[in-house]
């Protein structure tokens, strides 16, 4: 579609038409590679999420919704649930420890919703080959991220959930090759089911992964309503009571839609090298660099400031305190930098009750401050600068120009593999590491994507 026509068209049509048009053979190798990479990353993270805070309680709740053995749950071999219930639990687990990949400019975690919804849909219908499954991932990420990129202001609602449900619907539409009108109806129904508040982020509450889980589950509802013949609203994105009018400060749809077909958004996604809010990663790496290169340590620190864009201050500038929930601590730069000073990095094990209440960490955290540097870009993570004063009067600085794991500074194959293994070990499934890597690497050649993933041992 010419750019002038695209700008004037119903954006729901543009997004669904884009999703339905994608074919594996037409995707660049860079796109294919990242689809495999972030599938592997997200499966491993979802396995680790079986031990996330509140994950067992979420599972127990969901099991009370109704019986059925349709779809598996990551990291819980032998367990099957009704498809919507499995989508809910898997999405909660993928996002439950803030370890899932993120598209920084869109401020959106696309894979937690999209992958959870696709796994559930695979389990309740005819087999789909690996090529189409991977292509559906690309389609879902394209759509969800496009909505995020079209919102140039600070988040009002939790975009991984609000934009995520539309990405899920688009991904399933491609996966099942739905008729265009039916897919558009499902896209319209997604608006009725969209939800996700930033209040949970502000307070550091575990409702964040619940909102992601609800989006994945809601996408199946939207799909089923359309399959049942119920018409959806026709202007879910740009209507006077549509997505942008209700959930974002303003929209910049035209430039975001124009990027469709010009590469794919999954190539712009970042790994999470640490199980924390992405806004905390620059501070963690800055401390590591100050310690390794300039001799900073917990013993010689007098005070540490992290000068960063407003988004960083807003998302992780909260105070550390005794009794923090894991979800709060993952979004607390004071805690994350203090842990790094004392232990060299931040891992999944640092969010146990014992670790969170470590008096030495909390005392050190009180010497750390996050400062808003006034950057006019409200979605920026960088540039940032760490400034440390030592007890002997030295001033040590480190500039952060890129985030580790970003497209500008990607994880190496070894770092990616080490993260996946660490996730599987956290769930006592380390023995599945090689099998999972081999399955994902060869998935495009599989005639049944779901059976292949089950064969890896991380899903029933």
Q: Is residue 364 part of a domain?
A: yes
What value, to the nearest 5°, has the Cα angle with vertex 190 and ends 188 and 193? 130
Q: What pLDDT was estimated at residue 379? A: 81
- Tell me: do 194 and 257 sit in the same domain: yes
Q: Which two tokens stand for residue 215?
A: 């989006």
Q: What pLDDT was estimated at residue 371? A: 98
Element (H, E) at 137: helix 130-149
> For residues 93 and 56, what is the distance between their CA atoms, to the nearest angstrom?
10
- Tell me: do 284 and 242 sit in the same domain: no
- Tell me: do 128 and 212 sit in the same domain: yes
Which contacts qualify for 442-446: CB closer than 8 Å, 24 or more apart?
Answer: 442/130, 443/36, 443/39, 443/130, 443/133, 443/134, 444/24, 444/32, 444/36, 444/130, 444/131, 444/134, 445/130, 446/129, 446/130
Residues 115-127: b if buried by 16+ CB within 10 A, e if exposed: bbbbbbbbbbeee
- What residues are paired with 265 via a beta bridge? none
Q: Is residue 416 part of a domain?
A: no
Q: What pLDDT was estimated at residue 282? A: 97
Q: Is residue 303 part of a domain?
A: yes
The pair phi, psi for residue 415, each rounded to 5°, is -65, -40
Q: Is residue 44 part of a domain?
A: yes
pLDDT, tens digit (0-9, with 9 covering 90-100), for 35-76:
999 999 999 999 999 999 999 999 999 999 999 999 999 999
What is the number of domains present in the chain?
Answer: 2
- Tell me: do 360 and 396 sit in the same domain: yes
> For residues 122 and 128, what is the distance between their CA atoms, to the nearest angstrom?
7
- Tell me: do 165 and 299 sit in the same domain: no
Q: What pLDDT was estimated at residue 323? A: 95
- Residue 214 and residue 88 in contact, taking contact as beta carbons nearer than 8 Å: yes
- Tell me: do 196 and 110 sit in the same domain: yes
Q: What pLDDT was estimated at residue 193? A: 98
Residue 181 sits in a domain whose CATH number is: 1.10.4100.10
Q: How many CB atoms lie within 10 A of CB 240?
A: 7
Burial class (CB in 10 A: 0-12, 13-18, 19+), 54: middle
- Tell me: do 100 and 115 sit in the same domain: yes
DSSP track, 414-460 = HHHHHHHHHHHHHTT-GGGHHHHHHHHHTGGG-S-HHHHHHHTTS--
Q: What pLDDT was estimated at residue 11? A: 98
The pair phi, psi for residue 385, each rounded to 5°, is -150, 130
- What residues are paired with 369 via a beta bridge? 305
- Tell me: do 267 and 340 sit in the same domain: no
Q: What pLDDT was estimated at residue 189? A: 98
Residue 314 sits in a domain whose CATH number is: 3.30.1330.120
Q: What pLDDT was estimated at residue 396? A: 98
Q: Is residue 417 part of a domain?
A: no
Residues 6+ away with beta carbon under 8 Å from 105: 148, 149, 268, 379
Order of all β-strands in the sheet with 368-372? 368-372, 301-308, 384-390, 395-400
- Residue 372 and residue 310 in contact, taking contact as beta carbons nearer than 8 Å: yes
Q: What pLDDT was estimated at residue 6? A: 54
Q: What pLDDT was estimated at residue 261? A: 85
The pair phi, psi for residue 188, each rounded to 5°, is -65, -40
End-to-end C-alpha distance for the chain, whole angstroms: 42
Residues 6+ away with beta carbon under 8 Å from 381: 104, 278, 279, 282, 308, 309, 311, 312, 403
Rg (CA), the chain: 21
Q: What pLDDT was estimated at residue 7? A: 52
Q: Is residue 355 part of a domain?
A: yes
- Tell me: do 265 and 297 sit in the same domain: no
Number of helices followed by number of strands (H, E) in the chain: 23, 6
Q: Is residue 407 part of a domain?
A: no
Q: Calculate helix-pair angle for 433-441, 413-426, nearest 10 degrees.
A: 130
Single out the residue of 152, 236, 162 nearest to residue 197, CA to CA: 162
Q: What pLDDT was estimated at residue 128? A: 98
pLDDT lower than 50: segments of the chain = 4
- Residue 451 and residue 111 in contact, taking contact as beta carbons nearer than 8 Å: no
Q: What pLDDT was estimated at residue 296? A: 98
pLDDT, tens digit (0-9, with 9 covering 90-100), for 72-112:
999 999 999 999 999 999 999 999 999 999 999 999 999 99
- Tell me: do 262 and 300 sit in the same domain: no
Which structural domain, as residue segments, surrounds residue 97?
3-273+422-455
Q: Is residue 415 part of a domain?
A: no
- Tell me: do 114 and 85 sit in the same domain: yes
- Tell me: do 16 and 140 sit in the same domain: yes
């Amino acid at each position: 579609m010419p750019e002038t026509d695209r700008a004037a068209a119903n954006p729901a049509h543009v997004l669904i038409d884009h999703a339905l048009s994608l074919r594996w053979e037409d995707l660049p190798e860079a796109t294919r590679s990242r689809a495999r990479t972030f599938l592997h990353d997200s499966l491993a993270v979802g396995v680790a999420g079986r031990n996330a805070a509140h994950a067992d309680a979420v599972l127990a709740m969901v099991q009370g919704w109704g019986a059925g053995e349709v779809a598996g749950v990551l990291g819980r071999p032998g367990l099957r649930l009704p498809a919507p219930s499995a989508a809910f639990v898997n999405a909660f687990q993928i996002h439950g420890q803030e370890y899932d990949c993120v598209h920084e400019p869109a401020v959106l975690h696309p894979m937690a919703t999209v992958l959870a919804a696709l796994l559930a849909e695979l389990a309740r219908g005819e087999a789909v080959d690996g090529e189409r499954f991977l292509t559906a991932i690309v389609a879902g990420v394209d759509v969800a991220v496009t909505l995020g990129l079209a919102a140039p202001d600070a988040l009002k609602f939790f975009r991984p959930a609000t934009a995520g449900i539309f990405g899920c619907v688009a991904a399933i539409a491609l996966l099942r090759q739905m008729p265009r009108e039916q897919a558009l109806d499902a896209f319209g129904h997604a608006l009725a089911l969209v939800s996700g508040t930033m209040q949970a982020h502000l307070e550091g509450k575990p409702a964040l992964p619940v909102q992601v889980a609800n989006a994945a589950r809601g996408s199946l509802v939207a799909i089923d309503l359309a399959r049942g013949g119920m018409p959806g609203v026709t202007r879910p994105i740009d209507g006077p009571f549509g997505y942008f009018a209700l959930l974002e400060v303003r929209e910049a749809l035209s430039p975001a839609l124009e990027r469709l077909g010009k590469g794919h958004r999954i190539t712009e996604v970042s790994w999470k090298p640490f199980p924390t809010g992405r806004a905390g990663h620059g501070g963690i790496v800055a401390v590591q660099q100050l310690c390794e290169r300039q001799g900073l340590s917990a013993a010689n620190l007098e005070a540490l400031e992290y000068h960063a864009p407003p988004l960083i201050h807003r998302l992780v500038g909260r105070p550390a305190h005794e009794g923090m929930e894991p979800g709060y601590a993952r979004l607390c730069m004071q805690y994350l930098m203090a842990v790094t000073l004392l232990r060299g990095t931040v891992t999944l094990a640092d969010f146990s009750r014992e670790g969170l209440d470590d008096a030495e960490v909390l005392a050190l955290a009180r010497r750390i401050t996050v400062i808003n540097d006034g950057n006019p870009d409200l979605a920026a993570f960088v540039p940032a600068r760490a400034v440390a004063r030592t007890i002997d009067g030295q001033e040590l600085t480190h500039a952060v120009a890129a985030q580790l794991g970003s497209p500008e500074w990607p994880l190496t194959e070894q770092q990616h593999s080490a993260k996946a293994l660490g996730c599987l070990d956290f769930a006592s499934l380390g023995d599945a590491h090689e099998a999972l890597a081999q399955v994902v690497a060869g998935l495009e050649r599989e005639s049944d994507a779901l059976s292949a993933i089950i064969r890896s041992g991380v899903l029933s």
